[in-house]
A and B are shown apart, each in its own frame.
Chain A
Amino acid sequence: MTGRAESPTSQRLSTGVQLILRVLHHFAPHRWTHARLLKWGVTGRTLVIAVPYLWLLLFFLVPFIIVLKIAFSETQIAMPPYQPLVHWVGDKAVNLTLNFGNFLFLLEDNLYWKAFLNSLKVAGISTFFCLLIGYPMAYAIARADSTKRNVLLMMVILPFWTSFLLRVYAWIGILKNNGLINNFLLWTGVIDQPIVMLQTDFAIYVGIVYSYLPFMILPLYSNLEKMDLTLLEAAQDLGCGPFKAFMKITLPLSMPGILAGSMLVFIPAVGEFVIPTLLGGPESLMIGKVLWTEFFNNRDWPVASAVAIALLIFLVVPIVYFQRVQARETGGGVHR
C-alpha cells in the first residue's frame, strides 16, 4: 500500500508538501519555543516519542485498567451504572471492595462458556478456510507476471476499501430463502424446497471468510513474493518433483506469512459482532454479540467488562505472538 517515492507524481506532490512546509518553517514560532523547551530539558526527540506515547497511554492502556476496575464492581441503577470500588471510610482508611461476583457469574452461567467456546470454534474454522482459499490465491498472484501482479493485488485490496457492513449485507441477499442461490437452484430444478442458509453457522463462516480474506492474502503474498525462486529450481535440479518441492521448500518458508495472516484473521474474528448479528441466527452464540447485548440491552456494564477481560485473557497469547511476528516483519526498526 505504500507508494514509491521516486515516481514523478509523488515528486510533484512532495515538492508541493515541501513548499508548504518551507513557508510554515519561516513563520512558525519554533524559533523561540525551541529555546524555551530546551531550557526545560525537552528536546524534539523527546516530543516525537512523548506525543504518541501519552496518547496511546491515555486512550489505549488506561481504558483497560478502567475495564478491569469496573469488572470488579457491582451493578447499580444509575449513570454510570456501577458502584465505585474504593470508598473513603473516615479520614484516612480506604475500603476496597473487590467483587468477584461478575466473574463467578460468567463461570456459573453456561451461556458464557458456550459463547466463548463457540467463538473460538467459529474463528478457528473460518481461519482454516481463509487459509485454504487465501494461500492458493496469494501463491497464484505472487507467481503471475510482474505486470499483472499489481492489478491482481489491487483487486484483492479493492473490496477492502468498500464498506465492510455493506459487503456483509450483500450476503443476506445471496443466502436468504428467496435469495440468489436458492432462486437459482429452484429455477434449475436441483431442489424444490429452498435450503435454509441464512441464520445458520454456515452463513457466519461464509461471512467471516469473505470479509477477512484480504487480511490472509496480503501477508501471504508479501512473503511468497519475496521468496527466491532459484531455491525451487535448485530443489528440482536435485531431483524433487514440483509438489514435493512445494511441500519441502515453499511451504516451510512461507510459515511466517501463514502465521501472520492467521493471526490477523483469528484474533478479530473471535470478537466479531457484525457478522453473527446479521448472518447468524438468534441462537448463534458469539462472545462479541454477548458482550454487546450485556452492554446495550441489559445495561450491565460490570458483566460486560468482565466478559471483555475474559476475552482479553483468551486472546493475550495470540496477540503477543502476533506482535512478535509483526516486529520481525518490520525489521524491529533498530539499526545498529
Chain B
Amino acid sequence: MSRKVPLFRLSVLVFGFAFLYVPILSLIVYSFNKSRLVTVWAGFSTEWYGRLFENQQILGAAWLSLKIAAINATGAVILGTLAGLALARFGQFRGRTILSSMTTAPLVMPEVITGLSLLLLFVAMEQIIGWPAGRGVTTITIAHMTFTMAYVTVIVQSRLATMDDSLEEAAMDLGARPAKVFFLITLPIIAPALLSGWLLAFTISLDDLVIASFVAGPGSSTLPMVIFSKVRLGVSPDINALASIMVLLVAIGVVIAGILMSRQEKTRQRDMQMAIAENQ
C-alpha cells in the first residue's frame, strides 16, 4: 500500500471542506469591512464590532437565548437519560415501541409542524387549565426540551448499548440496589456522553428559529428571531461581526477539547504500555 493519499480522495476532501468553510470564512472577512454594503470592500475596520456591543436588542436577545439554552439542555439531559435508560436497559416493556417512536420522530420532524402543534397545545392548555399563562420563556423552554431530548436519548441509548452491562450486574452482585448502581456505576461511566448530549441540546436550542417563533410571546425574542428579522431585509455588517464572534467561540472550544482529548489518549496509551511492559 502506498503511503500517498490517492489524488481522487484528496481532491474530494479539499473541494468538500472548501464548500463547508468558504461561506463561514467570507462572513468573518467581511465583518472587518468598513463599507456598509458588506461585500464591497472599502478597507479594514472593527467598527461593526463596536456597533454590535452597543446594540441592546441583540445583547438582550443573546442573553435570553443563552438562559433558555442552558435550562433546556439540563432538562433535556435528564429526560433523555431516563428515556435512553429505559430503551437500552429495560428490555421489552409495555409501550416501548411508542416511546422509541416518540423519541426518534422529533429528529426528522419538520420544524414548522413541531412549532405549530406545540403552540396549539399551549393555547389549549391555557384555555383549559390556565397554564402556561401567555407564551414566553417557559413555553420556548418546554418546546426545546421536547425536541432536543430526542438527541440526548439517541446519544445515551447508543452509549449504553456499547457499555458492558456486566458492569452494572457486577455492582448489583456486590450488593448495590438498582438506583445505587445507576448513580455509582452507570452515571459516572456515561458522564462524557451526557456532557456531549448537554452541549448538543444547548447548541440546538441556541440555534432554533422556527419553533421558537411559534411558541414565543411578545417580549421574548430569542437571538435567532432578532437575527432573522434583520437578515430578512438583506445583509448587514453587524450580523457578520456577530457571526464571527460565534465562530471564534466555537473554534476555541473545539480546539481546547481536541487538545484535551489527544493528551488523554497519549496518557492512556502510555499507561497501557507500562502495564504490558511491567508484566513481562
In the complex with contacts A166-B243, A210-B23, A319-B187 CB distance below 8 A: no
Cα distance A136–B14 in the bound complex, in angstroms: 11
Q: A64, B117: Cβ atoms under 8 Å? A: yes
Asked whether any CB of chain B lies closer than 8 Å to the CB of A4, the reply is yes
A61 close to B (CB within 8 Å): yes
Whether A66 pairs with B121 at a CB distance below 8 angstroms is yes
Q: How far is the CB of A274 from chain B (nearest CB, A)?
A: 6
Binding site secondary structure of chain B: helix
- Using known A-B contacts A10-B191, A161-B203, A288-B110, determine if residue A66 contacts B117 with beta carbons closer than 8 Å: yes
Partner of A14, one of B189, B240, B251, B254: B189
With A62-B121, A268-B110 known to touch, is A163 a contact of B102 (CB < 8 Å)?
A: no
Q: Does B130 reach chain A (CB closer than 8 Å)? A: no
Closest to B261 in A: A7
Q: Mark contacts of B174-210 with chain A using CB atoms, 8 A cut-off: 1 yes-contact digit, 0 otherwise.
A: 0000111001100111111101100010010011011
Cβ-defined contact, A305 with B116, below 8 A: yes
Give the distance to chain A from B86, nearest Cβ to Cβ, in Å.
Answer: 5
Q: Is A164 an interface residue (CB 8 A)?
A: yes
Query: In the complex, are the beta carbons of B264 and A2 less than 8 A apart?
Result: no
Q: CB of B52 within 8 A of chain A?
A: no
CB–CB A169/B112 < 8 A? no
Q: A143 near B: Cβ within 8 Å?
A: yes
B102 interface neighbour in A21, A51, A57, Cβ under 8 Å: A57
Say yes or no for A60: interface residue by CB 8 A criterion: yes
Is A163 a contact partner of B23 (Cβ separation < 8 A)?
A: no
- Interface: B138 (CB within 8 A): no
Q: How far is the CA of A322 from the CA of B106 in the complex (A)?
A: 11
A63 with B193: in contact, given A167-B23, A311-B110, A333-B87 (CB under 8 Å)? no
Task: Please state if B235 and A2 are interface contacts (CB–CB under 8 Å).
Answer: no
Chain A residues within an 8 Å CB radius of B187: 17-18, 21
A59 to B142, CA, bound (A): 8
- Chain B residues with Cβ below 8 Å from A55 are 79, 145-146, 149
A90-98, A106-114, A178-186, A251-259 - the one binding chain B:
A178-186
Does B16 contact A63, Cβ atoms closer than 8 Å? Answer: no
Indicate if the CB atoms of A172 and B235 lie closer than 8 Å: yes
- The reply to whether B195 and A56 contact each other, CB–CB distance below 8 Å, is no
Interface mask (B205-244 → A, CB under 8 Å = 1, otherwise 0): 0110110011000000000100110011011000110110
Contact B120 A301 (CB under 8 A): yes
Q: What residues of chain B have their CB less than 8 Å away from a CB belonging to chain A?
A: 5, 8-10, 12-13, 16-17, 19-24, 26-27, 30, 37-40, 79-80, 82-83, 85-93, 95, 98-113, 116-118, 120-121, 123-124, 127, 142-143, 145-146, 149, 153-155, 157-161, 163, 165, 178-180, 183-184, 187-193, 195-196, 200, 203, 206-207, 209-210, 213-214, 224, 227-228, 231-232, 234-235, 239-240, 242-243, 246-247, 250-251, 253-254, 258, 260-261, 264-265, 267-268
Complex A-B: 10 CB contacts under 8 Å: A53-B83, A67-B117, A67-B120, A143-B9, A171-B23, A172-B234, A183-B40, A274-B210, A311-B113, A333-B157
